[in-house]
Amino acid sequence: MEHRKVQGEELERLLHSKKAAGFNYEKYLAVLTDYKDGDVVAVNVGAEAANRGEKIRFSRAARLVNKSLTWLSNPSENEIAFQLGPLREKRSRGQKRS
């Protein structure tokens, strides 16, 4: 496998062309910061939005601000609902030891 170290002008050009990393959770964080632990929130996600995708994005945004979400039944076809809470301890995916 051939490889080389990038230097000089080429290095500068490549570093300045770097794309922003990750997804922009700004609009999800804006919703979450308006509420406190224990609040139940219903969010209108619109007819075209996939509820599953919106739930994933809200859950990831909540983890960014050390919160967790408990998902509730959807109040209507275009809404999702959750209860905001403190970040829960991460569950181990391994077998429990006795």
pLDDT: is 16 or 37 the higher one?
Answer: 37
Task: Confirm whether pTM is higher than 0.85.
Answer: no
Domain edges within the chain: 24-86
Whether 19 shows a pLDDT value over 80: the answer reads: no
pLDDT, average across residues 22-39:
91
Who contacts 77 (Cβ-Cβ below 8 Å, separation ≥6)?
A: 47
Q: How far is CA 43 from CA 4, 18, 53, 70, in A?
A: 50, 34, 13, 14
SS3 state of residue 81: strand
Whether 20 shows a pLDDT value over 80: the answer reads: no
| Sheet order of strands, 67-72 included | 40-44, 79-86, 67-72
- Predicted local confidence at residue 81, as pLDDT: 93
pLDDT in tens, 52-70: 889 999 999 999 999 999 9
Burial class (CB in 10 A: 0-12, 13-18, 19+), 37: exposed
- Predicted local confidence at residue 24, as pLDDT: 87
Whether 89 shows a pLDDT value over 70: the answer reads: yes
Whether 74 shows a pLDDT value over 80: the answer reads: yes
pLDDT, average across residues 29-50:
89
